[in-house]
Chain A
Amino acid sequence: AQSVAQPEDQVNVAEGNPLTVKCTYSVSGNPYLFWYVQYPNRGLQFLLKYITGDNLVKGSYGFEAEFNKSQTSFHLKKPSALVSDSALYFCAVRDRTPLSGGSYIPTFGRGTSLIVHP
């Protein structure tokens, strides 16, 4: 079984300050980890992913995330927040081992609303 927890429903940060959106996961094997962003009235858009290699992953719009295996976390970060970063952020995980038949189903968190104040 696999699961994702995003412990904060909402994160508030002032423009120019660093931001962190938290994500912890649980999988039976090794994880593939993803962050997606959803702007109002839009579908989810891919931000970044961790597959293997360097634990610090850089993605779109200046975002980055750090894979921490011991803490089973994959927190999303940005050094300096912009008002335009305000959106809903989703963490997702799937096990590297496919289901029978070679298929994969990712599990998404409930989402965290990021509000950046001017």
Chain B
Amino acid sequence: DAGVIQSPRHEVTEMGQEVTLRCKPISGHNSLFWYRQTMMRGLELLIYFNNNVPIDDSGMPEDRFSAKMPNASFSTLKIQPSEPRDSAVYFCASGAGANVLTFGAGSRLTVL
């Protein structure tokens, strides 16, 4: 099993551009989480999907952020338009049922 796969690993973009981050969860996992990690705010939950359905998106900062999970093997997190304060490492994690989460390696986003 290749684990949770995220792409791109690094993204540098200019303010105002659209950014799309991608995640392939572990096959068979029914929960998917998007987190954002910064030095200032630590690890923040952005959105949680269960069986491809968004259950809790209260952590999504504002309307510029959107996430989709069209099927059990793929999810995207989109930022449009991006701003410098969106610079962070974005993690996707998946889990089976109720317990341990498996995290991807993260996508490091820098918005200039």
Contacts and interface: CB of A to CB of B under 8 A. Distances in A.
Interface string A98-117: 11011111101011000000
B31 interface: yes
Interface of A is mostly: loop
A49 B42 contact: no
A105 to B, nearest CB: 5
Contacts, number: 55
Interface residues of A, number: 24
B12 interface: no
Contacts of A49: 99-100
A88 to B, nearest CB: 10
A98 B91 CA distance: 23
Residue of B33, B100, B106 with most partner-chain A CB within 10 A: B100
